[in-house]
C-alpha cells in the first residue's frame, strides 16, 4: 500500500525483480540490451517517438497540401480581381465613348441646323428677288402689249410724219423684248438656284434626322 501511494508497482519499471538480474547474466548482449530498454522504458519511448514522427509527417504533408491549396486560391482571387478590374475599365471606357459620341453628334447637329437656317434665309432672299423680277417682267409684258397695240394703231393711220414715230415705237418694242428675254433668263437661273438650295436643305434635313436618331 505504501508503494502504491508512491505510484510504484511490482510490474512497473520502478522495481527490478531479483531473478531479472540473474537472468541478465545468462542472455546474449542483444537480448540484454532489449531487456534493459524495456526496464527503463526505451521501447515505449521509441514507439511513441515513431508515432509522433508519423504524425509529424502527416502534419507536414497536410501543411504542404494546404499551402498548395492556398496558393491556388490566391491565384484564383488574383484572376477574379483582374477580371473585375478589366470589366470596370471596359464599362468606364464604354460610358466615356458614349458621352463623346453624343457630344460629337450634338455638335454636328447644331452645325447642320445652322446651315439649314442659313440656306433657308438665302432661299427667302432669292424668292423675294425672284418675285421682284416676276413683277418687273409682268410690267414689261404689259408695256409690250400696250406698245404693240399703239403700233398697230399707228400702222393703220400711217402717214408721212408718222414714219418716224413708228420707228421709235419699234425701237422701244425691241428694247422691251430684249429686256424681257434677259429677265426670263435671269428668272430661269434663279429658279435653278432655288431648286439646288432646296435639295441642299433636304440633304441637311436627312442628315439632321440621322443625328437625332443617334442621340
pLDDT greater than 50 at residue 7: no
Q: How confident is the model at residue 214 (pLDDT cuts 50, 70, 90)?
A: low
Q: Tell me how many domains the chain contains.
A: 2
Of 84 and 108, the one with more pLDDT = 84
Q: Do 140 and 205 fall into the same domain?
A: yes
Q: Which of 40, 65, 90 is a domain's end point?
A: 65
Decide: 101 and 148 in contact? Cβ < 8 Å.
no
Give the residue numbers spanning the domain of 146: 108-214
pTM of the model: 0.38
Residues 6+ apart with CB under 8 A from 200: 119
pLDDT greater than 50 at residue 134: yes
30 domain-assigned: yes
Res 37: pLDDT: 61
Q: Which of 34, 65, 96 is a domain's end point?
A: 65
Decide: 120 and 173 in contact? Cβ < 8 Å.
no
Res 5: pLDDT: 45
pLDDT greater than 60 at residue 11: no
Q: How confident is the model at residue 164 (pLDDT cuts 50, 70, 90)?
A: low
Q: Do 44 and 124 fall into the same domain?
A: no
Q: Do 52 and 113 fall into the same domain?
A: no
Least confident segment among 5-19, 72-86, 101-115, 116-130: 5-19
Distances (CA, A) of 31 to 25, 34, 38: 11, 5, 10
Of 38 and 194, the one with more pLDDT = 194
Q: Do 128 and 192 fall into the same domain?
A: yes
Res 8: pLDDT: 44
pLDDT greater than 60 at residue 183: yes
For the residues 114-130, what does the mean pLDDT come to? Answer: 78
Res 118: pLDDT: 81
Q: Which of 33, 49, 65 is a domain's end point?
A: 65
> Distance between alpha carbon 6 and the CA centroid of its chain, in Å?
88
Q: Do 122 and 205 fall into the same domain?
A: yes
Decide: 20 and 39 in contact? Cβ < 8 Å.
yes
Q: Do 136 and 206 fall into the same domain?
A: yes
23 domain-assigned: yes
pLDDT greater than 80 at residue 75: yes
Radius of gyration of the chain (CA): 62
pLDDT greater than 50 at residue 3: no
HSE at residue 147, side-chain half, CA atoms within 13 A, is: 19
For the residues 44-55, what does the mean pLDDT come to? Answer: 79
Q: Do 116 and 182 fall into the same domain?
A: yes
86 domain-assigned: no
Residues 6+ apart with CB under 8 A from 190: 126, 129, 130, 133
pLDDT greater than 70 at residue 57: yes
As a whole number, the mean pLDDT across the chain is: 72
Q: What share of the chain is helix, strand, coil (3-state, %, to 5)?
A: 90, 0, 10
DSSP labels for 164-194?
Answer: HHHHHHHHHHHHHHHHHHHHHHHHHHHHHHH
Amino acid at each position: 500500500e505504501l508503494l502504491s501511494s508512491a505510484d510504484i508497482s511490482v510490474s512497473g519499471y520502478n522495481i527490478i525483480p531479483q531473478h531479472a538480474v540473474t537472468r541478465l547474466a545468462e542472455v546474449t548482449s542483444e537480448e540484454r540490451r532489449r531487456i534493459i530498454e524495456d526496464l527503463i522504458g526505451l521501447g515505449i519511448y521509441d514507439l511513441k517517438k515513431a508515432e509522433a514522427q508519423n504524425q509529424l509527417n502527416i502534419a507536414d504533408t497536410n501543411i504542404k497540401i494546404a499551402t498548395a491549396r492556398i496558393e491556388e486560391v490566391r491565384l484564383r482571387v488574383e484572376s477574379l480581381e483582374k477580371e473585375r478590374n478589366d470589366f470596370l475599365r471596359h464599362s468606364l471606357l464604354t460610358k466615356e465613348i458614349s458621352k463623346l459620341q453624343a457630344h460629337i453628334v450634338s455638335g454636328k447637329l447644331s452645325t447642320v441646323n445652322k446651315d439649314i437656317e442659313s440656306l433657308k434665309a438665302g432661299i427667302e432672299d432669292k424668292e423675294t428677288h425672284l418675285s421682284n423680277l416676276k413683277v418687273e417682267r409682268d410690267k414689261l409684258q404689259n408695256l409690250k402689249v400696250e406698245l404693240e397695240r399703239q403700233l398697230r394703231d399707228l400702222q393703220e393711220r400711217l402717214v408721212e410724219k408718222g414714219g418716224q414715230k413708228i420707228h421709235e415705237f419699234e425701237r422701244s418694242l425691241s428694247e422691251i423684248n430684249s429686256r424681257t428675254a434677259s429677265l426670263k433668263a435671269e428668272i430661269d437661273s434663279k429658279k435653278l438656284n432655288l431648286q439646288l438650295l432646296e435639295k441642299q436643305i433636304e440633304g441637311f434635313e436627312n442628315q439632321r434626322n440621322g443625328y437625332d436618331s443617334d442621340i
